[in-house]
Amino acid sequence: MVKGKRGVIYVVSDSLGETGELVAKAGKIQFNSSISEIKRFPFVLEKEQISEIVEEASQYNAIIVYTLVVPEMKEHMLNVASKYNIKAVDVLGSVIDALKELTQREPLYEAGLNRRLDADYFKKVEAIEFAVKYDDGKDARGVKKADVVLLGVSRTSKTPLSMYLAHKNIRVANIPIVPEVEPPKEIFEIPNNRIIALTNDPDKLNSIRQERLKALGLDYTANYASMERILGELDYAEKIYNKLRCPVINVSDKAIEETASIILSIIRKGD
């Protein structure tokens, strides 16, 4: 029995149902006040739920808009909707079929993947924000919160590595090692398998630092790029690394991706 003449749109989804609701709203607006409401039913993962929703919808002047990806659930929806003579619109079906033909591959048919992707995205954003906040020793409190802490003298790729790893959802804090500054006590208070020390060959550092000074319009013969200074920094850093007994990676002949891969391997072994 149909109650009233104004229509109702039932949105049924195995995830949040946001996609189906957006489509329903886009359609509803074309009919002014002819559609009274949109009712959303998220996380519909059982056939019994579908049966109950369709039975309820049959009491109204309703259609069903659904975003179900599991074939058995879609088939059940169509069968029950047909039984009650209700129009059921598959929002994703045509797109998935077209992509299946385009890629010549079978879809995963897993419910909630979009939600998992969203969670992954936000975790990545959090990791990037973390890397920026705790870059270059800005705040030593990040050491204890980080998944991994990178140590190294200037120009050992600490910041690029931090950002690269952040895109892998790894929260990274990096600490510069400078002879004139005591390293933060926090690095001695965390497990050494969460610390990665970075080093570089003296000649390579000398070249990199000279180019850096030139790029900044500064005298490339400044103490920062002198071999004596570089050797002193590396010696100081090595003493700290030995004290920490942490893994050490020489980045002199490695691309960022290669070094990051080594770091990820060390992290996984430590888990």
Closest CA to 194 of 261, 140, 266: 266
Higher pLDDT, 19 or 117: 19
pLDDT at 257: 94
How far apart, in whole angstroms, are the C-alpha atoms of residue 245 and residue 192?
7
Say what the pLDDT of residue 3 is: 46
Domain ranges (residues) in the chain:
3-103, 122-270
Task: Answer yes or no: are the C-beta atoms of 151 and 197 closer than 8 Å.
Answer: yes
pLDDT in tens, 145-187: 999 999 999 999 999 999 999 999 999 999 999 999 999 999 9
Average pLDDT value for the chain: 92
- 27-61: pLDDT as tens digits: 999 987 789 899 999 999 999 999 999 999 999 99
- In the three-class reduction of DSSP (H, G, I as helix; E, B as strand; rest coil), residue 65 is classed as strand
pLDDT at residue 1, as a whole number: 40
- This prediction has a pTM of 0.62
152 token code pair: 């190294």
More confident site: 114 or 51: 51
Query: What's the pLDDT at 2?
Result: 46
The neighbour count for residue 211, using CB atoms within 10 Å, is 13
Contact 251, 199 (CB under 8 A): yes
Instruction: Please state which CATH class domain 122-270 belongs to.
Output: alpha beta
Which phi and psi (to 5°) does residue 175 adopt?
-125, 125
User: What is the average per-residue pLDDT within 76-80?
Assistant: 97
Q: What is the pLDDT of residues 60-69, one digit of tens each?
A: 999 999 999 9
Binding-site members for ADP are 152-159
Under CATH, domain 3-103 is a member of which superfamily? Response regulator (3.40.50.2300)
Contact by Cβ (8 Å): 62, 10: yes
Please check whether the two domains, 3-103 and 122-270, share a CATH topology. yes
- Could you tell me which residues are annotated as the binding site? 152-159
